[in-house]
Amino acid sequence: MNIFRFVHISDTHLGSRQYSIKEREDDFYDAFTEAVQIALDHEVDFVIHSGDLFDEHRPDNRALSVFRDNIIKLQARKIPFYMIMGDHDRPKKDDIAAANIFDFLGVKVLGLEEYESVLHGNGSESILIGGISNMKGMRRERLKSQYERANYEAADNKMAILISHQAISPYFISEQCEATSEELPVNFNYMAFGHIHNRLEKRIGNSIFSYAGSTEIKSTNEIDFYMRHGKSINMVSVENDQTTVEKISLKSVRPQAMVQGTLEGVLKSIETFVSKNRERLEVKKGILTMEIQEKIKAIDVMEAVSQYEDLFLIRTPVIKAQEGEKHNVSAMTDSLKDMFLEYFSGDEDTGKMAYEIYRDVMDNDPEDAVKSIEKRLGIEGKL
Ligand SMILES: [Mn+2]
């Protein structure tokens, strides 16, 4: 029988603690545990994870133990866990991936520096699983040739899945993308992608390309999408050249309300949110983020919203009293490049340079970052 069923999970960011709230760390564990339970309940053949399993390359011990506990459950049913590294959990050059510690429990980390594959199953009843960990910064230029290699290998296999963790245009702001959709391989039945936290699914010819999305809300700019579509994982089946994907919603995700305006306006918005989402809030208390656009003391705002303490964990409000200080709360984490340009306003070259140096540091191992910065400043080898 040539059919394989698996779940595609992504961007679980175990160990992440949003807003420094203790409950927010547990939420990421809950969502991952729920995702694994779905895999167990559906008796899948294997699990695919497309990167950012952990929030950091040296995860906290709790994050490691939550991962271990879940992998033990999968191992007991002989369900292997195939994964790659995202930009968050990719180890430094001379280290191994944290997830590698659990290789004896059926965890297989694919392709750290180049494309790598395994066959799941036997002979004619097998499926090729190829993967390449996140390639950005200095590694980015190698991505295209690795995709070509992957494509070449997939052509020889009847059924094949690719796992990758990249920003692909036009699905994301092009300045932050490492490849375009035209550069993707075409011979895979399913392309399991990670990195973009809002879910996306595209049919490309006979194949399906999908960002499964993060399992919890990692950043405030995911809140809108979450409130409309929820968070989910993909249940995928590949049968010869037919691929089908079903989105399965996660129930453990904590709802979040982000509201702004005068105190009176904010109170109205909260009321609307509560009446629309009461069911979700009864599963798990929500988180309330407020920006108050009038002159008022934070303590008075907290007093006014104290009636919602049973439904929300309430964050200290941001008060924006002055005209001109107003800005959209959800836009806070949008284009970082614009923030740099704004900071160096009037000096566009310096703004651009600062942003590029920032990217050098974020995207590379330390030695590579230093090299890249020296090159930018024209002082290569002079230090
Ligand atoms: Mn991520």
pLDDT in tens, the chain (383 residues): 589 999 999 999 999 998 888 899 999 999 999 999 999 999 999 999 999 999 999 999 999 999 999 999 999 999 999 999 999 999 988 899 999 999 999 999 999 999 999 999 987 789 999 999 999 988 999 999 999 999 999 999 999 999 999 999 999 988 889 999 999 999 999 999 999 999 999 998 789 999 999 999 999 889 999 989 999 999 999 998 899 999 999 999 999 999 999 999 999 999 999 999 999 899 899 999 999 999 999 999 999 999 999 999 999 999 987 655 444 443 343 467 777 777 777 777 888 888 888 887 877 777 778 888 888 888 877 66
Give the torsion sign (CA, 266, 267, 270, 276): negative
Q: pTM value? A: 0.86
CA–centroid distance, 218 to ligand 1, in Å, is 8
Q: What number of other Cβ atoms are within 10 A of residue 200's Cβ? A: 14
Catalytic residues: 88
Tell me, in angstroms, the distance from the centre of ligand 1 to residue 371's CA. 26
Per-residue model confidence (pLDDT) at position 194: 98
What spacing in Å lies between the alpha carbon of 9 and ligand 1's midpoint? 11
What is residue 328's predicted lDDT score, i.e. its pLDDT? 44
pLDDT at 333: 37
CB 249 within 8 A of CB 230: yes
Tell me which amino acid residue 151 is.
Answer: N
Strands 168-169 and 179-180: parallel
How, if at all, do strands 200-204 and 232-239 pair? unpaired
Find tokens 């910065």 and name the residue: 373
Q: What's the CA-to-centroid distance between 338 and ligand 1, angstroms? A: 21
Cα three-residue angle 239-50-17, rounded to 5 degrees: 140
Beta strands per DSSP E along the chain = 3-9, 46-49, 81-83, 107-109, 116-122, 125-132, 160-165, 168-169, 179-180, 190-194, 200-204, 207-211, 232-239, 242-249, 256-261, 286-292, 312-314, 318-319
Which pair of tokens denotes residue 82?
């195939």
Q: Are the C-beta atoms of residues 154 and 187 closer than 8 Å to each other? A: yes
- C-alpha 156 to ligand 1 mean position (Å): 31
Ligand 1 is an ion; residues with CB less than 5 A from it: 11, 52
52 C-alpha to ligand 1 centroid (Å): 5
What pLDDT does 174 receive? Answer: 86
Amino acid of residue 117: S
Place of tokens 């430094």: 92
Question: What interhelical angle do 366-377 and 348-363 show, nearest 10?
Answer: 160
Both structure tokens of 7: 């779940």
Q: How far is the CA of 252 from the centre of ligand 1 (A)?
A: 19
The pLDDT assigned to 60 comes to 95
Cα of 166 vs centre of ligand 1, distance in Å, is 10
Q: How many Å lie between the centroid of ligand 1 and the Cα of residue 81?
A: 18
What is the Å distance from ligand 1's center to 219 Cα? 10
Cα–ligand 1 centroid distance for 195 (angstroms): 5
Distance 214 CA to ligand 1 centre (A): 7
In angstroms, what CA-CA distances link 297 with 251, 260, 284?
A: 36, 15, 29
Name the residue type at position 109. Answer: V
Helix (H, G, I), strand (E, B) or coil at 352: helix
Could you tell me if 107 and 99 are in contact, meaning their C-beta atoms sit under 8 angstroms apart? yes
Residues 6+ apart with CB under 8 A from 40: 73, 74, 77, 79
Could you tell me which residues come within 8 angstroms of residue 101 by beta carbon, excluding any fewer than 6 positions away? 64
d(CA 363, CA 90): 11
The single residue listed with the structure tokens 């006014």 is 304
* CB-CB contact of 64 with 29 (8 Å): no
- What is d(CA 318, CA 41) in angstroms, rounded to the nearest whole number? 43
